[in-house]
Amino acid sequence: MKAYVIDRYASQPAVRLAELPEPDVAAGEVLVRIHAAGVNQLDHKIAQGEFKLILPYRLPLVLGNDLAGVVVRVGAGVHAFQPGDEVYARPRKDRIGTFAEFLTVHQDDLAIKPANLSMEEAASLPLVALTAWQALVERANLRHGQKVLIQAGSGGVGTIAIQLAQHLGATVATTAGARNADFLKELGADVVIDYRTQDFSTVLKDYDVVLDSQGPRSVAKSMTILKPGGTVIGIAGPPDPDFAREIGGNPVLKIATRLLSLKTRRQAARLGVSYSFLFMQASGEQLGEITKLVESGTIRPVVDRVFPFADTPQALDHMAKGSTRGKIVISMI
């Protein structure tokens, strides 16, 4: 099969087309013929080596963290899926590789594709929708009447998180460029702050939750708009000790996360708020809940651009430049 791989980590990753054997199918696994794959900032960060202490991949590595496709074969013990099923998934973190023609996915990570979506639309959803779900539903327990700030609302996570938060009954603020303001209000944002001309920390106050995708400096500023007991959930760091425990990190990683997050945790304690780092986990069950929201029209995917499989390197370059609205997708068919 054809796949796009990296041979080494680099600040400017070099992605090459390779010919690899078709994956074997073990018990509990499903072989999927990939029709489309989502492109994420995570792919670029992995290729740069930012996660090599957390995710020790073997090189050469096939990139890609989102897929939509058709089941080809199933392994022993798989009863929920059969050949011909249209499915989508975010493979678990040690089984990535969706920039390829085929991938084996554990049955627990897989869900039936929403019937009202194309393959390209479906492939745009798993990673960002699961991130939004796990941040706002699982971790923050966002409720009707609460206020949430979603940083970078026009990005992949932001466009889905705004819709989910609006569905949960929250008042939604977001940051974005002025050109995206009307679009984000259509998605469900109540307040759109132009990050180029406004400082959100001087505009917002008494918020319950912040979903931050911008990193430590933004996390520090986000804490200042929370009411006592509020929480910032960061998906771009700093990683904290709870995360190291969740993934069964070694002693070095546990020490590193403690040091990296020390300043942030001290600030949170001083302000009477909390901070947690979220590294999204694969879940076919949660994708099933997201499918219901998609098929009911509550959540719709936002696809910025679709690249053909042959242009996978260009798709990664385009994503790395930022300023996309929603997701970039690679189409294999």
pLDDT 10s digits, 279-293: 999 999 999 999 999
Instruction: Provide the pLDDT for residue 247.
Output: 83
pLDDT tens-digit map of 302-322? 999 999 999 999 999 999 887
127-277, superfamily in CATH?
NAD(P)-binding Rossmann-like Domain (3.40.50.720)
Mean of per-residue pLDDT scores for the chain: 95
Rounded CA-CA distance 188/179 in Å is 16
Q: What is the pLDDT of residue 322?
A: 78
* pLDDT for res 327: 97
pLDDT bucket at 30, cuts 50 / 70 / 90:
very high
What number is the average pLDDT over the span 254-260? 90
Residue 333 CA to residue 330 CA, distance in Å, equals 9
Q: Which CATH class is domain 2-125+301-331?
A: alpha beta
Q: What is the pTM of this model?
A: 0.96
Binned at pLDDT 50, 70 and 90, residue 253 comes out as confident
| Cβ neighbours of residue 31 closer than 8 Å, sequence gap 6 or more | 22, 23, 25, 71, 72, 73, 74, 102, 103, 104
Q: pLDDT class for 298, splitting at 50, 70, 90?
A: very high
Predicted confidence at residue 51, as pLDDT, reads: 85
pLDDT in tens, 44-103: 999 999 888 778 899 999 999 999 999 999 999 999 999 999 999 999 999 999 999 999
Which tens digit of pLDDT belongs to each residue from 174-184? 999 999 999 99
Task: Report residue 1 as tokens.
Answer: 């099969």
Q: Taking the domains of the chain in order of start, what are their residue ranges?
A: 2-125+301-331, 127-277
The answer to whether 291 and 112 have CB atoms below 8 angstroms apart is: yes
**From CA 328, how far away is CA 15, in angstroms rounded?**
17
At which residue do the structure tokens 């990005």 appear?
155
pLDDT average, residue stretch 29-52: 94
- Backbone dihedral region for residue 306 (phi beyond 0: left; psi -120 to 50: alpha; all else: beta): beta
